[in-house]
Copies of this chain bind each other. A is one copy, B any other.
Amino acid sequence: MSNKPATIKEIAKILKISVSTVSRALNDHSSIGLVTKQRVKKLAADLNYEPNQRAIQFLHGKSFVIGVILPELSESFFSEAISGIEDIAYKRNYTVLLAQSHDDAEREKLLVEKMKTQRVDGLLVSVSKTTSTYEHFEMFKKVNIPVVFFDRIPPLKDIHYVASNLETGTYEAVNFLLKKGHRTIGMINGPNTLLASHERKEGYIKAMVSNRLKFDPSLVISCDLSEASTITAMDAMLNHKRKPAAIVTFNDYVALFAMRYARSLNLSGIDFVSYANLPIISYMDYSPIASVEQFPYRQGKKAADILIDLINKPKSQSEVEQAYFNIVVESELIVSKLP
């Protein structure tokens, strides 16, 4: 009963006109008379006609699908980013094919393969932590399928990407602490290999310098983001000849570890500032007094927009004049509301 969806053919047969007329009528083509249009549209509505997307995709040689590969949806940065991607895709009539690499380079490679066999029209990627080779992405370029990276950018030339610049947010953060009266500010940073660590450090330095303070490198300590490593860093801070009165931490986890450790030593009064990645942290007894926000939703939207623009861009005649989008979303300091 009421089984197969209606097709354009059936409409044509019932109305005793040709399928081309029906198609044109539904698409408001100028060469179709008003009465015919209305008759067709009426019947289409009655039959609950909906165009078969697979047929259209097939005809156009396009899938209207964008692939999205990201490390972990359970990280709130990514679950928020995917909302932005989804919203744009929806608005621009694209569909999202989502997959998680779970920070596994092998799996990421497989997923990229699958995206290719699925013939996505474009790819949005935030690369896995363990990824060290990038040929699988290069393949896409060869077949002219645009790839846009976001947040976790591979060290490649000539790519499109959207990422946040943590320098500005960090600058604001340190400035905020200085304005609050702190003179000695520490930073528990991430591994030096990460671009993100570098940006944080640069922001820190700029803030110090622009306030006519001299930058003390020994107050910026790297850690590997584990609790143990955070505690080691904290020990170094606390034994420093200039013990910091405020500390900027690489992320909320590190802040959590550091704050807990400080309390376990019965130390209070140190102000912490972090980078927002755990929404739950605001519910907690102790939380950073301010946070650098990276606007994942906004980044997701932007990246999706760029990707779809690229998909629909007429092919550039010469490869040379190809422009690469390198969009930087500025980060921003959000000061916690007092309870």
List A residues at the B interface (Cβ < 8 Å).
1-3, 5, 50, 52-55, 57-58, 61, 63, 72-74, 76, 79-80, 82-83, 86, 90, 95-100, 102, 114, 116-119, 142-144, 253, 256-257, 260, 263, 278-281, 283-286
Contact = CB atoms under 8 A, between A and B. Distances in A.
Among A5, A119, A144, A263, find the residue whose CB has the most chain B CB atoms closer than 10 A: A119
B100 A98 contact: no
Contacts of A52: 58, 119
Nearest to A227: B283
A82 B90 contact: no
A100 B283 CA distance: 24
Contacts of A284: 256, 284
A58 B58 CA distance: 7
Contacts of A117: 50, 53
Contacts of A144: 3
Contact of A256 (B119, B263, B283): B283
A142 B61 CA distance: 31
A90 B114 contact: yes
A315 to B, nearest CB: 9
Given A3-B144, A98-B98, A54 B285 contact: no
Given A74-B279, A117-B50, A96 B95 contact: no
